[in-house]
Amino acid sequence: MDFTRDILPLKNILFRTALRITMNREEAEDIVQDTLLKLWERRTEMSKVDSLEAFAISAARNLALDRIALHRNRVISLNEEIHDTEDNHPSVFDNIINNERQKHIHNLINQLPEKQRTAIQLRDIEGKTYKEIAVIMGISESDVKINIYRGRDFLKKNCKNL
């Protein structure tokens, strides 16, 4: 197994997976490094793995979920900065509206159960097939489809007011 050829190209997929779960760029970068290190340390065992990509994504996903569990009791302070703006600047107003929409969508996505959130991310963002998602998540293809349908349905129902 060659690190540069086989493992390093997975870093972007691992980063997007970790970022979607943690919603924190620095945390996602740490998870990617930990995952790459774990893969390198276990490189002799990787010949037994059917799909290195699926194995790597599963490892990153598990690390991200572990970190979320560790930080769950942490208090997060929300510092909202209010800037004085003039009514003559519609672009500033538009930016505020767009930011609020994005926050609302992120909140809705975070309300999804973990399986739905992960399945939607792997399908809609990563472009994985149902079969690949089933392998990564360790569930059946029909469960993948059900989780994606339910997650999308929840998001559609709650985004109608945007």
Q: How far is residue 29's CA from residue 18's CA, in Å, rounded to a whole number?
A: 8
Residue 120: pLDDT over 90 = no
Q: How far is residue 60's CA from residue 47's CA, in Å, rounded to a whole number?
A: 19
Using one digit for the tens of pLDDT, what is the confidence trace for 41-76? Answer: 888 888 888 888 888 998 898 898 888 777 654 544
Show me where the domains of the chain are located: 1-74, 91-162
Specify the higher pLDDT residue, 151 or 99. 151
Residue 27: pLDDT over 60 = yes
Using one digit for the tens of pLDDT, what is the confidence trace for 86-118? Answer: 444 456 777 777 778 778 877 888 889 989 988
pTM of the predicted protein model: 0.54
Calculate the alpha carbon distances from 79 to 11, 99, 111, 162 in Å: 32, 15, 21, 24
Secondary-structure class of domain 1-74 per CATH? mainly alpha
Q: Domain 91-162, what fold?
A: Arc Repressor Mutant, subunit A (1.10.10)
Q: How far is residue 49's CA from residue 43's CA, in Å, rounded to a whole number?
A: 10
Token pair for 81: 């900065």
